[in-house]
Structure 1
Amino acid sequence: MKRRDFSLAAISAATVTGLPLAAQAQGPGAKKPVEGTDYLSLDKRVPTDVGAGKIELIEFFWYSCPHCNSFEPQFAAWVKAAPKDVVVVRVPVRFRDDFEAQQRAYYVFESLNMVDAMHGKLFHAIHTERQQLNTAPALAAWANKNGLPEKKFLDTFNSFGVATKARRATQLQEAFKVQGVPALGVAGRFYTDGSLTQTMDRALQVAEYLIGEVRRGR
């Protein structure tokens, strides 16, 4: 969804369709991604937190975004098979103040090593079960029903560590000039999203191409 389209009161279901997974982009006849059309090069490089020989791939997302929900199964499968030199970082965006609760919720899961257990469940609760989970109390009550005690959730939610991570996430969002989600950032240098590529399948293909370019020393 584009940044200007975000409205908790006006979200409708959406399905991302397109090409098969990114391996097809490398096959014969595949269209080479074009800078300025399929992806953008950042004017100023964004520092990454990965070690030498590693390439950072950021997914920018928002739990209440239907496009992010549609993309999540595909992206999760890609992450499991990601090359060893690729470090995947999920970054929840905050386009408005009312995004902050869900932004912090992700970092609660991360801080408690519960991303695998809770990340997909929260998407499911919002988009399949149609639960309204955009405040700290609502998220804490939901977490409690899913194996994370409410007090522990709230204590972590309000912690300095989570506040710092949320603030950093918003800084990254602004540094990459994210205008819609889901979106992908590569190596602190490149940006792509479904608005540029028309589908998130293609955006992931473009990200793989850019990862290859970084490996080759571009």
Structure 2
Amino acid sequence: MKRRDFTLGMSAGSLATLLAASPAHAQGEPVEGREYTRLQSPQPVSTPAGKVEVVEFFGYWCPHCNAFEPVLDLWVRKLPADVVFRRIPVAFNAAHQPYQKLYYALEAMGVLDTMHRKVFNAVHIQHMRLEKDSEVQALAAANGLDGAKLIESMKSFSVATKCNQATQAARAWAIDGVPTMGVQGRFMTSVGQAGGHEQALRVMEALIQKAKKA
């Protein structure tokens, strides 16, 4: 989803139709400037030497991220030990910031793994807004979490720091739409650029191999 497209109302069926109509560009070796982009200014990675970092820039509010998540999750589970995957929640405007805070608050509470897909479902299947304390508390209550603790974590200094770092990273990468994938701080691609879900995964696998050889 591009920075200018903030609607939460796109249906899963409409999205599937849109993605199915996308041209499958990535055939064989991906082409720089078409299936992926090389960053002019490489970004730092948080992984030790000998490992490749893969980053997903995403937003819980984004229907494209929601549609990509099941496919991406299966792919991530099969990554080799020398590839490290992490997510960076993006906030293009004030309405997106609560979702960014929610991600890091769930991480701080140690429940991100179990709640990640549930947040997507709440937003895109149950059509919940999670921009007010009462809405976040409703999400917490429905999933057996302490709503007051979750709100407190969202308003904490540590979560604010992580949100600032995430926003700075998105700016450094010049992220203008999500989901966007980054590889080893040097390459980036997206479902739209690659031509579909499976194509994006194939491009990322090629970029991982490229990063390993560098």
Q: Please indicate, yes or no, whether the TM-score normalized by the shorter chain is above 0.5.
A: yes
CA contact (8 A) 2:53 2:84 kept: yes
Counterpart CA distance in 1 for 2:133 and 2:210 is 41
Q: TM-score, normalised by structure 1?
A: 0.89
1:55 alignment partner in structure 2: 52
Q: Does 1:6 align with 2:6?
A: yes
Counterpart CA distance in 2 for 1:167 and 1:138 is 23
Report the secondary structure of 1:4's partner residue: coil
Q: Does 1:163 align with 2:160?
A: yes
Query: Partner amino acid for 2:43?
Result: V
2:30 alignment partner in structure 1: 33
- Over residues 18-46 of structure 1, what are the superposed CA-to-partner deviations in whole Å (9 max), with x where a residue is unaligned? 89xxxxx8xxxx42101111111111111
- Over residues 88-128 of structure 1, what are the superposed CA-to-partner deviations in whole Å (9 max), with x where a residue is unaligned? 11111011111000001000111122111100001111111
Q: Does 1:202 align with 2:195?
A: no
| CA apart distance, 1:11 | 4.0
1:22 alignment partner in structure 2: none
Report the secondary structure of 1:94's partner residue: coil
Q: Does 1:104 align with 2:96?
A: no
Identify unmatched segments of 5+ residues in structure 2. none
Identify unmatched segments of 5+ residues in structure 1. 20-24
Amino-acid identity (%): 42
Query: Partner amino acid for 2:193?
Result: L
CA contact (8 A) 1:59 1:184 kept: yes
Report the secondary structure of 1:5's partner residue: coil
The structure-2 alpha-carbon separation of the partners of 1:136 and 1:69, relative to structure 1 and needing over 3 Å to count, comes to same
Q: TM-score, normalised by structure 2?
A: 0.90
Q: CA RMSD in A?
A: 1.8
Report the secondary structure of 2:57's partner residue: strand
| CA apart distance, 1:137 | 3.2
Counterpart CA distance in 2 for 1:140 and 1:56 is 34
Q: Does 1:44 align with 2:41?
A: yes
Query: Partner amino acid for 1:135?
Result: K
2:130 alignment partner in structure 1: 133
Query: Partner amino acid for 2:114?
Result: A
Q: Does 1:211 align with 2:208?
A: yes
Query: Partner amino acid for 2:206?
Result: Y
CA contact (8 A) 2:128 2:135 kept: no
The structure-2 alpha-carbon separation of the partners of 1:18 and 1:78, relative to structure 1 and needing over 3 Å to count, comes to farther
CA contact (8 A) 1:102 1:135 kept: no
Q: Quick one: which of 69, 72, 77 aligns to 1:72?
A: 69
Counterpart CA distance in 2 for 1:135 and 1:170 is 21
CA contact (8 A) 1:62 1:102 kept: yes
Counterpart CA distance in 2 for 1:160 and 1:63 is 21
- Alignment: residue pair count: 207
CA contact (8 A) 1:101 1:136 kept: no
2:78 alignment partner in structure 1: 81
| CA apart distance, 1:12 | 4.2
CA contact (8 A) 1:17 1:201 kept: no
| CA apart distance, 1:134 | 2.7
